[in-house]
Structure 1
Amino acid sequence: MTRLRKPLIAAAAVVLLTAGCSDPGAGSGDTGSSAPASWPAETTKLDGVNLTIWAAQNSNTVAKKVAEDFGAATGAKINILTVPDPYEQSVQTKVASGDKPDLAFWQPTASQLTAINAKQNLQSLDGAPFIDKYTPALKDATGILDGTRYAALVTVPAVEGVWYNKEVFAKYGIASTPKNFDEMVAAGRKIKAAGGVPFYEMGGEKWATQWWVQVQLADAAKQGLWDKVNKNEEKFTDPTILDAIKKYKSLVDEGLFNKNITSATFVDQGKALLSGEAAMAIQVNTFFSQMQAQSNTAELNKKIGFFPISPAGNIGTNIPDQSNALIAFKTGDAKREGAARQFLSYWLGTAYPEFVKDLNTVSIQTGVETPADVPDALKANADSIGESVGSMQVLAIVNPDLYLNLANMLAGQATPEKVAETTQAQFDQLAQAIGAAGF
């Protein structure tokens, strides 16, 4: 799941704790921003080497088969540890206390690499043998901070957009997918008027509430919204963002969402769309994974589609999440650090074609074809990346707890204005913590 944001105090604490450490250029496990000394051959023997990978609930099975195969080929043992949700907060708290794994799933955006203090804590992945295998659009799209590559992309970066039930659309006479946000709302109103549930939101788990605001900001993001926010020239309390928050609330108040919006979960959302209980859900790629687990390609192609959305058209909002990439930590143990790099080489080398088949997902490498039975909706989501724009998590220098504040709004505990004010105050504090100019 793409929670992506951690509570403000934890984030600020990590920034300050890591910033206060000793010289980041010192220590046997610290390579600064320079490339690793070597990239071991993929199947170099590693008998007696134990590696730990941290993963979230929705990513803890992604590496399972690759890890087993790597162990069989090298003798290494890999333990995949599920870190409790909220994942990002939990990881940062553990790292700030000195607890580090060898590898971890991590959102590969510049802001999240900053939050984990990449230069201090992570190995550089510059010079990795898999870099030139990435498709051109993805090669340098993410995972890089201040010119150094710290994250290895393993799956297609997430894109926020609309997953819809084709059969429900047909039932209510929606003949084509909406061409902009207003058309989507109009389709929703038509469905509601005929007795259906237009949109399904998982407010009980909170983290996806921000997608409804962010897709409304896609066109503004293309025009430099987040650059202005980063320079303190525009605020969450100004009309662009505040109006998006107000619009979200007005649609909820209009009754266009599921009645259990404040308690519904991620799993509930997937079941509702697949069963036809609801027509649409604004979500990211991992949302589709749970439907894949409950269905098959033929049924998914028959029932589920995807289209990107923005106020002016069909612009997606890209948001690489923690299930898309891994980072390798500096542990001070040269052998384990080398083994971690070797595992990434193996995964994105020899193991990658089989990995794509096992996961039944879109390939991110030019030399590896996407399996023929990957569902059409997942392909449509991947195809939308080229024209998409970065999300707040991608383009903002820091990321406040917008989703928590929006969840409070859904629960009747905050007005849109209060959401904007609280989010801006958090943004200011986080920006100050990293020494951003203008704050």
Structure 2
Amino acid sequence: MPPAPRVTSPADPGFWRSPLRGPWLTSVLGVVLLVGITVLFVTGLLSYAAYNPNLSPVNDKTPDKGLLGFYLFAWPTDPHWLYRLNQGLHVTVGVTLIPVLLAKLWSVLPKLFTLPPARSIGHALERVSLLLLVGGALFEFVTGVLNVQLEYLFPGSFYPLHFYGAWVFFAAFAAHAVLRLPQAVRVLREPGWRARLRDPRPEPVDEIDEGGLVAPRPAEPTLSRRGALGMVGAGSALLFVTTVGQTVDGPLRRTALFAPHGGGDPGSGANGFQINKTAAKVGVEPRDTGDLWRLVVSGPHREVSLSRTDLLQLPLHSATLPIACVEGWSTSDQRWRGVRLRDLAVLAGFEEDPPGVLVESLQRHGAFRKAALRDNQVRDPRSLLALRVNGQDLSPDHGYPARIIVPAAPGVLNTKWVSRLTFGEL
């Protein structure tokens, strides 16, 4: 028996020895990613819409989006948990898919080293789309995870990076799906697929000519395809249970050990719930929020200055709402009490049909020192300039002396340490 040819380069098909690689495993992983990445793309676009970026430049973190902003719409206030659900789904699904993505990349790794790089114009286009697909997937997942875990790693730049990267990645992903989905469906519909799931032996060579994934000289199997998928599924399940609790209430909140605000509430008492940015971190000092603090409420023809005592003497209302952040974490519903934004619009001269409002914070640095709210958000009776939470005054880190709370809005639009409300100027 002649000796096996010497293999020295990843471009040689004989370099890859795993008997598990083949169209069946790649197709299963691809179908899972097709569903999951579509969910990520849709929820990601909805997340950008929630900022109402076409309302005011202070909300828009993706300048010059042009035609890519075709889908933007006025973000609603009902249901009040809408952004909490959307962002929790986006982050949890993204983290859970990481083992699936890595397994998929492993399953097609030989194709990245195929020589010659291009055999025809069509093949060249396919290779370019593959590079964009792999590069885009790694870029989106890595930047997303880093932003979730480190929050301010990309100050001011995460939004455009993730937005434009998502469009490039999803365009390549959609093109790849169109080209490969018919083959995946055909492979998965073949008779005997359950037996193939249990069989660790290589797939028949005559079934893989389209993909070229099966090793010509496979090593002895040490794991079945079912075992391989079980490992991927176990990894995804572990990431799920250590992430999803930052979005949902109950026991799972304590299992969210790897989430930035997981592991239960950070303290006890009325103000003992998650905090995104502290007063010290954004430069708000005690002297800024003391007895000399005033809230300026202005409109085109009227301006009033109110102390916290003045605000407490106005009609107060309550709303039970969560805070939900772009990083995927959210609080349980908290009981807020304060002055309705639409009542403050009356003080600014708008007796009927209050317009949108520009909110300014005392914070000296950090993103969203200013934020704009739409007229539908101002009109909602649950939209408050909150003065108290869960029966007590706001703590300094939760926005004392006054903060915005609006149903279904991203957390950064629920501005803390409010100093000025300008109605009708966006």
TM-score (norm 2): 0.23
Q: Which has the higher contact order (CA 8 A, sep 6+)?
A: 1
Task: Please say which structure displays the higher CA radius of gyration.
Answer: 2
